Structures are given as structure tokens and as C-alpha cells.
């Protein structure tokens, strides 16, 4: 099987053959111009084959996001808000949701998480104040940085906060890696399986999951990078198709990718030159969805006014 090098469950499923796979249920539909794919991984063997934990993976796709289309941004944000609200456990309004923005804000492709935290409406300190709406829900947020900058594992900080704050759930945001370059900046994945910080760039850290911290963990991410070895393989695959002998070259392509993945090129990642605007736009779309999901009593106008 060809290595997928992707954080997206839908791409892992397609790389596994895209057909019937025991223990995996896949649905596709379109809503308001947004392509939606839901992947349900229901048993351990299927999870092993896909390299993804058991759980629900929802992917929202719209190429118009990369074109900064306002209608597409509103449609994706609204749908993402609904799905975040569906996956989060119900609370009494006083127990907090902790938003965790993973990544390094000094490295643009890895700064999505901190960017979302910067625009999240934090209200835990306001509850009970005269100026705070009674219907506001408790939300707190942190961008813990990365081990190489702080000397502290993100999981160490999150575990300490869970013990101190006792949130009803954690909502984490991180940058992801894609298999298909067209999905960079145009796809958002939402899952109830948590996340493994740094997995998108091969820097595996301790996973942030319900099993590791003791509270439900919902994660949101957008692909911002792709492996250079993947692009190289795709380029040679295109050449194979163009000379009409795709089947005859598949074995050679697999050997080539295996060699590339074992070389220095195998660990190199590539990102679009317009990544600055893509990450900034994505942070706005995701933060808007997070705020809508966590503060359902506020109108869109109120949320946008407080985000600016």
C-alpha cells in the first residue's frame, strides 16, 4: 500500500482503496456548495489499517475558500459550528470549554491554532459581572506554544489546566498535512478522537485525547502543508499517465516513493506561497465557528463585533 502521509481520514480511506472496508462507514453529501465527507471508524482493525483512531471524522471542502469567497466562508463556518456543537457534550453553562490552539505562531503554516485562540471569545472571567449577558457560556483558551520554544510539552500544560479548571470538554485546533495539495487551505476536518500534536510534520508528541486527559476532546484542523516526497511521486505519476502506461509504472512509482521517504526529501514539507493569507482566513473561519458553537445565544453580528 502506498504511504498516505496525511492527517485527513478521508484521504487515508481513499489510499486504502476507497472501496468497502470492514469497520469503516463513509457518507458523502453537498450542502450550500460545501462538499461534506463523514468517515466513521468503528473497529480496531479498521483503525489500524487507516492509521486513525476509532471515531467520527467530518471533512468540509470548498475550493472557494482559497478564493476568499464570502459566501463560502459563511457556509463553512455555519456548518462547522453546527457540527462542533453536536460533538461537544452538553454542560450547565458554568463548566468551561477549554480551547487549545496548538502550534508555533512564529512559523506561518503552524500558526493556525494560536490564530484561532487570538479570536476566540473568552468569557470565564466575565461570568457574574454586571456587563456580561446571563446566557453567556464559560469559555477559556490557551496557545501553549511548542516544546522547542517553551521547554514544556503542550500536554503537560493541558493536563495541569484540566486539573485546575475541570472543563467539560477540550476543543483543540491545529495545522494538518494533506495528501492532495488542492486541499491545502480549502478543507477543514473535525473529529471527536482528539489529536496528536505535531503529527502533520512528523514530530509526534503525546496525544491529546479523552483517554489521556480524562475529558472529551474535539479537534479541528486545516491542511497547511504537504510532503515534498508526495509531490514528487505525483509528478512522476502524471508523467506515467501522459505516456499511457500508468499500470506498468505503478510498481516503479511505489519503489520511488519508498526511496524518497527514506531520504532527506522524505521529511521536507511544502506550503503554498500565499500561506500567510490562507492561514489568516482559515483562523477567521474556524474562530467564527467556534464562537458560534460555544455562544449560541449571541447573534452573528455580536460575535463578529467582539472578534474584531
Could you list the mean pLDDT of each consecutive 10-residue stretch along the chain, which spans 308 residues? 73 80 93 95 91 94 95 96 94 83 95 97 82 79 91 92 95 94 95 76 73 95 89 70 59 66 70 95 97 92 84
Q: Cell numbers for 253, please give them.
A: 512509482
Helices (H), 40-138: 44-50, 70-87, 112-118
Full residue range of the structural domain in which residue 132 is found: 9-307
183 in a structural domain:
yes
Q: How far apart are CA 299 and CA 305, in angstroms?
A: 10
User: Comparing C-alpha atoms, which of 35, 23, 81, 33 is closest to residue 59?
Assistant: 35
pTM reported for the whole predicted model:
0.88
161-164 long-range contacts (CB < 8 A, ≥24 apart) are: 161/98, 162/98, 162/213, 162/214, 162/215
φ/ψ (deg, to 5) at 207: -70, 150
Cα Rg, the chain, nearest whole Å = 20
Task: Report how far residue 109's alpha carbon sits from residue 283's, in angstroms, rounded to the nearest whole number.
Answer: 11
Closest CA to 65 of 174, 223, 176: 223
Torsion (CA) 84, 88, 94, 97 in degrees, nearest 10: -70
| Number of domains present in the structure of the chain | 1
Element (H, E) at 97: strand 97-101
Instruction: Please report where in the chains the cell 476568499 appears, as a residue.
Output: 68
User: Dihedral of the CA atoms 293, 294, 295, 300 (nearest 10)?
Assistant: -40
Residue-level pLDDT at 16: 77
Phi (first) and psi of residue 40, to 5 degrees: -110, 115
Instruction: Supply 93's cell numbers.
Output: 453553562
User: Is the residue at 44 inside a domain?
Assistant: yes
Q: How far apart are CA 308 and CA 298, in angstroms?
A: 15
Q: Is 4 a member of any domain?
A: no
Q: What is the pLDDT of residue 261?
A: 62
* Per-residue pLDDT at 1: 41
If one counts every other C-beta atom within 10 angstroms of the C-beta of residue 132, the result is 12
CA distance 200 to 280: 19
CA distance 46 to 25: 10
pLDDT for residue 7: 92
* Cα–Cα distance for residue pair 114/224, rounded to 1 Å: 14
> What is d(CA 149, CA 111) in angstroms, rounded to the nearest whole number?
14
- Please tell me the predicted confidence (pLDDT) of residue 262: 63
Residue 168, domain CATH: 3.40.50.1450
Neighbour tally for 39: CB within 10 Å: 25
pLDDT at 199: 53
- Residue 212, Cα to own-chain centre: how many angstroms? 19
Question: What is the number of alpha carbons within 13 Å of residue 287 lying toward its C-beta?
Answer: 25
Place of cell 446571563: 134
DSSP, res 123: -
Amino acid at each position: 500500500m502506498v504511504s498516505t502521509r496525511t492527517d485527513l481520514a478521508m484521504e487515508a480511506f481513499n489510499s486504502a482503496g476507497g472501496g468497502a472496508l470492514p469497520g469503516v462507514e463513509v457518507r458523502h453529501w453537498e450542502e450550500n456548495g460545501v462538499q461534506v465527507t463523514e468517515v466513521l471508524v468503528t473497529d480496531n482493525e479498521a483503525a489500524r489499517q487507516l492509521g486513525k483512531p476509532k471515531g467520527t471524522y467530518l471533512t468540509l471542502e470548498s475550493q472557494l475558500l482559497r478564493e476568499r469567497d464570502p459566501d463560502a466562508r459563511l457556509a463553512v463556518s455555519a456548518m462547522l459550528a453546527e457540527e462542533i456543537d453536536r460533538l461537544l457534550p452538553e454542560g450547565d453553562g458554568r463548566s468551561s470549554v477549554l480551547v487549545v490552539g496548538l502550534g508555533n505562531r512564529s512559523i506561518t503554516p503552524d500558526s493556525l491554532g494560536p490564530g484561532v485562540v487570538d479570536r476566540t471569545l473568552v468569557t470565564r472571567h466575565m461570568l457574574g459581572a454586571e456587563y456580561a449577558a446571563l446566557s453567556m457560556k464559560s469559555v477559556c483558551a490557551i496557545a501553549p506554544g511548542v516544546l522547542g520554544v517553551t521547554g514544556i510539552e503542550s500536554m503537560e500544560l493541558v493536563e495541569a489546566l484540566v486539573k485546575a479548571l475541570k472543563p467539560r470538554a477540550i476543543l483543540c485546533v491545529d495545522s494538518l498535512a494533506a495528501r492532495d495539495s488542492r486541499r491545502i487551505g480549502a478543507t477543514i476536518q473535525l473529529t471527536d478522537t482528539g489529536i496528536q500534536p505535531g503529527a502533520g510534520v512528523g514530530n509526534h508528541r503525546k496525544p491529546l485525547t479523552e483517554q489521556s486527559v480524562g475529558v472529551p476532546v474535539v479537534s479541528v484542523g486545516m491542511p497547511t502543508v504537504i510532503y515534498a516526497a508526495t509531490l514528487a511521486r505525483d509528478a512522476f505519476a502524471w508523467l506515467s499517465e501522459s505516456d499511457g502506461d500508468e499500470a506498468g509504472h505503478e510498481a516503479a512509482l511505489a519503489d520511488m516513493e519508498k526511496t524518497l521517504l527514506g531520504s532527506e526529501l522524505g521529511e521536507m514539507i511544502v506550503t503554498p506561497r500565499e500561506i500567510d493569507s490562507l492561514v489568516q482566513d482559515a483562523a477567521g473561519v474556524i474562530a467564527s465557528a467556534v464562537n458560534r458553537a460555544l455562544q449560541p445565544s449571541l447573534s452573528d453580528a455580536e460575535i463578529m463585533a467582539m472578534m474584531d
